[in-house]
Amino acid sequence: MNKKQKRTLVRIILAFVLLVGLIAAKELGFLRFLDGKWYAFVPFLVPYLLAGYDVILKAAKNIAHGQVFDENFLMMIATFGAFFVGEYPEAAGVMIFYQIGELFQGIAVGKSRRSIAALMDISPEYANVERDGKLEEVDPDEVHPGDFIVVKPGERIPLDGVVTEGASLVDTSSLTGESVPRSVRTGDEVISGCVNGQGTLRVQVTKEYEDSTVAKILELTENASSRKSPIENFITRFAKVYTPAVTIGAVLLAVLPPLLFHQDWMEWIRRACTFLVISCPCALVISVPLGFFGGIGAASRIGVLVKGSNFLEALAGAETMVFDKTGTLTKGEFKVQEIRAAEGISEEELLETAAYAESYSEHPIAEALRAAYRDMHQGDASLFDLSRVDSAKEIAGKGLSVELDGAPVLAGNAALLQGQGIEAPKENAAGTLVYIAKAGKYLGCLVIADSLKPEAREAVSALKAAGVRETVMLSGDRRETAEAIASELGLDSVYAELLPQDKVAKLEEIMSAGNARERTAYVGDGINDAPVLARADVGIAMGALGSDAAVEAADIVLMDDDVAKIAATRKIAKKTLRIVKENIWFALLVKFAVLILGAFGIANMWMATFADVGVAVIAILNSMRMLKKQS
């Protein structure tokens, strides 16, 4: 509770004590001398103004600016009317209980903001930059790419960069929600917002602060509340029509029966005031955005950034989940999965020949072959004697040829060997096949494939358990490879050998085939999937610990690339939507019921107070359920 809220609480308590004292004094006859006097309302005016002077000031300011119809105006007119008809305790009581409701709202919003503000603590206050051999503590905005900074144990990494000296464990929990620290050493990338562990790191900065991970995330978080869901937009439009309508209704209720049917003016003014108190739309205009805000906060605590309540609502209705393959369901790291040596050839000889053949190539497949050879020899980097390799030549679309120890070596697809008259058996595998021949002799082939993320299978199962109707994978990979991965994960459909533009067309085809009310989510790595992420009803990107493309292209970002968190986020989204709808129906049913009772004179001002403040408080407490830790 902040200082302003504490002051409001003190005012409420003082006003409540005064009101109770005045009511007791009136019942005991101590205020009998005021009976029939025009100034009988003055004692009750003290707790009324003590509790609600700011409401009257807000109403007056809004009227001066042409913004008449809001809850402050309704409360002011209703309580003024209560004073006019002689219901002094009721007028003061209504204002006190209205302020109680406002206090609950402030506390709830503050708690919800703090759940997201934990993310805002990632903002670094300073950077230790190296200048002329000395460390200077400067604002991160003053550091530029190429500068060197030192991050001491316990300090927050202020800018994105590459470690040039040192090794440490980095706490990424503020970004990813994961409690297990990440090991970093010389050559590794580090991102701003994380906390350095026990080792000192020297880092070369790669981005300006305004382009850094922490700046992108803070901008995303700050803008999240501006993107309203369809339900929020409906409530905003509803309140704009509803408030003037009930005000006009209250005027008609106060005027028409006395004019047309010669009823008692005071009685119908009292009913009109009761009508106004009941009709305040507080429960709707407060609890609905608060519910969504709580949902966004709950998602942020598990390392998922949602750019707005509209995307949270869209995810709740997503019945079809479409996945990219590389970098999403797989690690995006090629590895040698099988070594199929020909008869009379050892696996070591085959792998050695392949590694030397690919020794000058920068292709991921070449790196996978070299890494496998190093692993076979316990990572000994001195194994490669590049003087053994000569005449390296790339053959477009087929592979390459080199001379190894003076003998010609071919490494590539089956067509490369066939073109040189070398017979090779037809191999089938869920991956890329690299055929190797030396001195005209077939040595064997190696199967290279991307490995599945360990959580991918769990993610697909969890989504199906959560009610997702269809899971689909889109891939540019070979059909055999894509189908093998889809089968292993239990996906419903797979489309392979797609170009980026083909993915957009295929997604539109999937979306048009579904129910118009259903939503389609696309999950990609955010680097080469931007068009598809933008086209989907909700785009979910792998954050890659802060990938710029992911943060900018997607509607929802998984900061630690854990696809298993999609199901958890969808669960949060559905719970948020359920709570919001509960609040709407509860508020409308209670209000309309008491409105009818008030119009017939059955409901008094205290019942009206419950219909307004009581319903608002209950709705706020219901919304605050989203602020609890989600499983």
What is the tens place of the pLDDT at every residue in 89-102?
888 887 888 888 77
Find which of 77-86, 114-123, 490-499 is predicted with most confidence, using mean pLDDT: 490-499
Mean pLDDT, range 129-157, rounded to an integer: 91
Find which of 2-6, 43-47, 239-243, 596-600 is predicted with most confidence, using mean pLDDT: 43-47
Identify the pLDDT of residue 214: 75
Same domain, 362 and 379: yes
- Name the residue among 86, 23, 19 with its Cα closest to residue 48: 19
Q: Which comes out higher in pLDDT, residue 300 or 464?
A: 464
Q: The CATH number of the domain where 299 resides is what?
A: 3.40.50.1000
Same domain, 346 and 437: yes
> Which residues, at least 6 apart from 605, have a Cβ–Cβ distance to it below 8 Å?
82, 87, 90, 91, 93, 94, 270, 273, 274, 277
Same domain, 316 and 420: no
Domain membership flag for residue 97 = no
Same domain, 195 and 343: no
| Kind and range of the H or E run holding 552 | helix 548-553
Identify the pLDDT of residue 545: 55
Catalytic residues: 324
pLDDT band (50, 70, 90) for residue 532: confident
pLDDT band (50, 70, 90) for residue 491: very high
Q: Which of 425, 451, 477 is the last residue in one of the domains? A: 451
- pTM of the model as a whole: 0.69
For the ranges 218-232, 575-589, 593-607, which has the lowest average pLDDT? 218-232
Q: Say whether pLDDT at 82 is over 80.
A: no
**Token couple for 15:** 């006003």
Domain membership flag for residue 255 = no
Mean pLDDT, range 71-79, rounded to an integer: 78
Domain membership flag for residue 193 = yes
Same domain, 429 and 456: no
Domain membership flag for residue 141 = yes
Same domain, 309 and 388: no
3-class DSSP state of 109: helix
Distance between the two ends of the chain, CA-based, in angstroms? 27
pLDDT band (50, 70, 90) for residue 241: confident
Same domain, 318 and 335: no
Q: Say whether pLDDT at 238 is over 80.
A: no
418-428 pLDDT, tens per residue? Answer: 988 998 888 88
Identify the pLDDT of residue 276: 75
- Name the residue among 106, 96, 72 with its Cα closest to residue 4: 106
pLDDT band (50, 70, 90) for residue 631: very low
Question: Residue 272, Cβ neighbours under 10 Å: how many?
Answer: 24
Q: Which of 574, 590, 622 is the last residue in one of the domains? A: 574
Same domain, 468 and 319: yes
Domain membership flag for residue 189 = yes
Q: Which comes out higher in pLDDT, residue 194 or 121?
A: 194
Same domain, 369 and 482: no
Domain membership flag for residue 230 = no
Q: What share of the chain is helix, strand, coil (3-state, %, to 5)?
A: 55, 20, 30
Identify the pLDDT of residue 434: 92
For the chain, how many structural domains are there in total?
3
- Between CA 383 and CA 387, with CA 384 as vertex, the angle to 5 degrees is 135
Q: The CATH number of the domain where 197 resides is what?
A: 2.70.150.10
Same domain, 342 and 365: yes
- Distance, in Å, from the CA atom of 174 to the CA atom of 154, rounded to the nearest integer, reads 14
Domain membership flag for residue 457 = yes
Q: Say whether pLDDT at 573 is over 90.
A: yes
Domain membership flag for residue 174 = yes
Same domain, 362 and 299: no
Structural domain range at position 427: 331-451
Length of the chain counted residue by residue: 631
Q: Which of 554, 574, 594 is the last residue in one of the domains? A: 574
430-446 pLDDT, tens per residue? Answer: 778 899 999 999 999 99
Helices (H), 413-478: 414-419, 456-465
Same domain, 377 and 507: no
Q: The CATH number of the domain where 362 resides is what?
A: 3.40.1110.10
